[in-house]
Every structure is written in C-alpha cells, then in structure tokens.
A and B are shown apart, each in its own frame.
Chain A
Amino acid sequence: GQSLEQPSEVTAVEGAIVQINCTYQTSGFYGLSWYQQHDGGAPTFLSYNALDGLEETGRFSSFLSRSDSYGYLLLQELQMKDSASYFCAVRASEKGSQGNLIFGKGTKLSVKP
C-alpha cells in the first residue's frame, strides 16, 4: 500500500528552528509537497521537491532524499503565527493514474513564547 508517516505533534519556542519529517512509501513517485493549515482554515501550499536536495522559501525550507524515501520541512525563526498543522503529500500512480494525491496525517506544531 501507499503511506506517508509524519510525527503527530511538535512543540518549539519562538525564534527556534524546527524540523518536521516525512517518510513515504508509494509507487510512481513524482515529488513531495508541503501544506500548512491553521485551525479552522483551508490547507495552503508551502513548497515542493521533485528532485533531491534543499528548496528554500524565506524562513521555510524543504528537503528531499528519493533514495531514502524521506523529506522534511524546516521552519526557522519560528513565530507564533507558525502554530498550525503541516502536511506532507505525494502524487502517486499506483493505479496508473496521474492525479492521485496522498496526504500524511499531519503534524500539529505548537509555538510557545
């Protein structure tokens, strides 16, 4: 089967750095995406890695290692507004289709003062 594993909760303090890991088991892997969702809101896209390495977007960076089926989201200079749930997602094609998106169960990040 296809699955993504990420920690359910992470706590960090304001100004710190936090890393949210995601390991995946899928077929037809096309790349790893990350989404942020605040309580009561809709998910919003953060970043995408199709190839191995680090992608940086401001305070957020995302990393992918295809050989290890592993990626992470790195949040630097944490702010209170970063308190949210973070989801990794992969586009898989176990059934031969190209539009099947699979999400992890999410990591709830709590940023403390």
Chain B
Amino acid sequence: EAQVTQNPRYLITVTGKKLTVTCSQNMNHEYMSWYRQDPGLGLRQIYYSMNVEVTDKGDVPEGYKVSRKEKRNFPLILESPSPNQTSLYFCASSPWDRVYEQYFGPGTRLTVT
C-alpha cells in the first residue's frame, strides 16, 4: 500500500530534550515536506526537500532541523524543544512535478512541557 508513515504518532516530552520524528514514504517521491498545524493557523511549512541532499526552509523553520540522506526518509529533528513547538506535525510527499498534490502522513501530536 502506497503510504507516508510517521513515528511516533504521539509524543510528550520536556523542554530541551532532543527528539526526532521520523517520516518515510514508499512511493519513490522526490519531494518531501514537513508542516505544523495549530488551531486557527492552518498548515505552515517547516522545511521541504526537492530531492536527496537538497533541503530548503519553509515559512517556520526556526527550532527545527531536517536531513535527506535517502529518498524515502525525511526526519524532523528538534534539538532543544520548547513549549511553543507543541503542535500537530504532518509529513508529506509528492513527485517532483506534482508538488501541488501532496500525500500526507497520519500526523504526530507533540506536546512539550
């Protein structure tokens, strides 16, 4: 089954404790992206990657890191999480020429206390 998977689905952590949210897709998509969703703010893009070893900042990259060493994986790293990073995070992917048609993962709900 073609899908985007994220792990963990739920995470409660404390301020300053480094964490990684994994994202993997099995559709051989070139483009991958991370979003955060907060009530009343819609989806905001954090980082995206047009292909392996190519990443770029979205609209809200502060406090996040990404890497794209393999085509299928695009982990999101929070080096020192803070409470304002409490949010619902979505990973998504698409073919490079259909960026307008994103396939989303199930989401990761992160709480930072």
Contacts and interface: CB of A to CB of B under 8 A. Distances in A.
Given A99-B31, A99-B48, A104 B42 contact: yes
B102 A45 contact: yes
Q: Which secondary structure dominates where chain B touches chain A? A: strand
Given A42-B105, A42-B106, A99-B56, A31 B100 contact: yes
B50 A43 contact: no
Q: Which of A42, A44, A87 has the most CB of B within 10 A?
A: A42
Contact of B90 (A31, A42, A45): A42
B1 interface: no
A35 B100 CA distance: 10
Contacts, number: 63
A101 B43 CA distance: 9
A100 B45 contact: yes
Q: Which of A43, A48, A89, A98 has the most CB of B within 10 A?
A: A43
Nearest to A49: B100
Nearest to B43: A103
A43 B43 contact: yes
Interface string B41-85: 111110011100000111100000000000000000000000000
A104 B44 CA distance: 9
Given A42-B107, A105-B41, A99 B101 contact: no
Q: Lowest 6 CB-CB distances: which A-B pairs, in order?
A: A105-B42, A42-B104, A103-B43, A99-B48, A33-B100, A48-B100
29 contacts: A33-B102, A35-B102, A42-B104, A42-B107, A43-B102, A44-B104, A45-B102, A45-B103, A48-B100, A50-B100, A95-B56, A99-B31, A99-B49, A99-B50, A99-B56, A99-B99, A100-B45, A100-B48, A100-B58, A100-B59, A101-B48, A101-B102, A102-B45, A102-B59, A103-B35, A103-B42, A103-B43, A103-B45, A106-B42
Given A30-B100, A103-B43, 19 more contacts: A35-B102, A43-B43, A43-B104, A45-B101, A45-B102, A48-B100, A50-B100, A91-B99, A95-B57, A97-B56, A100-B48, A100-B56, A100-B58, A102-B45, A103-B35, A103-B42, A104-B42, A105-B42, A106-B42
